[in-house]
Amino acid sequence: MSISLNQYANIYSTFESERTRPVLDLLTHVPSQHLKSAIDLGCGPGNSTQVLVDLFPGVTIAGIDSSQDMINKAKARLPDVNFDVVGIEAWAPTASYDLILANASLQWVPDHQQLYPRLLSYLNKSGILAIQTPDNLAEPAHCLIRDVATSGKWQGKLAGIERTPRPSADWYFQLLNDKCAQLTVWRTCYYHHLKGGIDDIIDWFRGSGLRPYLSRLDETEQQVFIDDYKAELKKAYPVMADGSVLLPFPRLFINATR
C-alpha cells in the first residue's frame, strides 16, 4: 500500500525540533503589543501553533490545514485552539486578523502573485503577515529526487511531476513593498545535524519533497525508488565518522506589516 496524504502527519513530526526552529526565528521579529488575534495557515500537527500560543498568551489563536489527520493531531495537542480543515487556497475569512502566520506551507500553494496580496488584505491595519518557506529546490536533496524520477526506470510512472521554481527574495520584495507599511525579507541557511545519516535525509523528505513521487507508487515501487535515491544521496552528502550528516537547508522569511 502506498503512503496516503494523512499518513504524512507522523512522518512530518519526526523532525519537529528542526522544523520548529525557523518559526521561532520568524516570530522573534513580530511585536506582541496590540496583538489580539492570530491564525496559523497550514498548521500541520500544531508545532507552529504551539509557538504562537507560547509567545503570545492571551491572543485568540486559530489554525487551518487541508489534512484531517494533521488537524486531529493539532487538536489533541492544543484543545483550546480553534482548528478547521480548510485548504489555504479556499480560505476566505469573515473576520480580519492581527497576525497571519504561514510557516512552511505556502510553497504548496500556487500563484503567489495573487495569493500574497490576498493574504495581506485579511489583516487589520498594522497587522503582520509572517511567512517562512523552504528555499531549497536547488539543493542536492531536491535535485536528486528529480534526477531519479526522470531516469529511464521511472519515466513512465513519474512523468509530469514538476516543482515550479520559487521566486527570488527580490521578486517577493517587489511584489509586496508598495502594499505594506513595513516589509522585511531575509534568507537563512540552517545546517541540520542528522544523527541517522543518509536515512534521516530520506525520512525528512518523505514528509515533503518526496510526497508527490511516492504517492504514485505502490509499496514495493516506493522502496525501489528510495533505494535509487539513497544511492545518489550518498554521493552528495559526506557521512561523518559517527555516521551523521549535515543537511544544509535554506529558508526564505517575510514579515509584512499592513
pLDDT given at position 174: 99
Q: How many CB atoms lie within 10 A of CB 57?
A: 9
- Over residues 79-98, the mean pLDDT reads 98
Task: Give the pLDDT confidence of 124-177 residue by residue, as tens digits.
Answer: 999 999 999 999 999 999 999 999 999 989 989 998 898 888 999 999 999 999
pLDDT tens digit string along 64-76? 999 999 999 999 9
Report the alpha-carbon angle 162-45-141, nearest 5: 35
- What residue spans define the domains of the chain? 8-257
- Residues 185-214: what's their mean pLDDT? 96
Say whether 234 sits in a helix, a strand or coil.
helix
Q: End-to-end distance of the chain based on CA atoms, in angstroms? A: 47
Output the pTM of the full model. 0.91
CATH 3.40.50.150 corresponds to the domain 8-257 = yes
> Shortest CA distance to 156 belongs to which of 233, 226, 206, 221?
221
The pLDDT assigned to 7 comes to 55
The reported pLDDT for the residue numbered 249 is 98
Instruction: Please choose, from the candidates 164, 166, 206, the residue with its C-alpha nearest in 3D space to the C-alpha of residue 187.
Output: 166
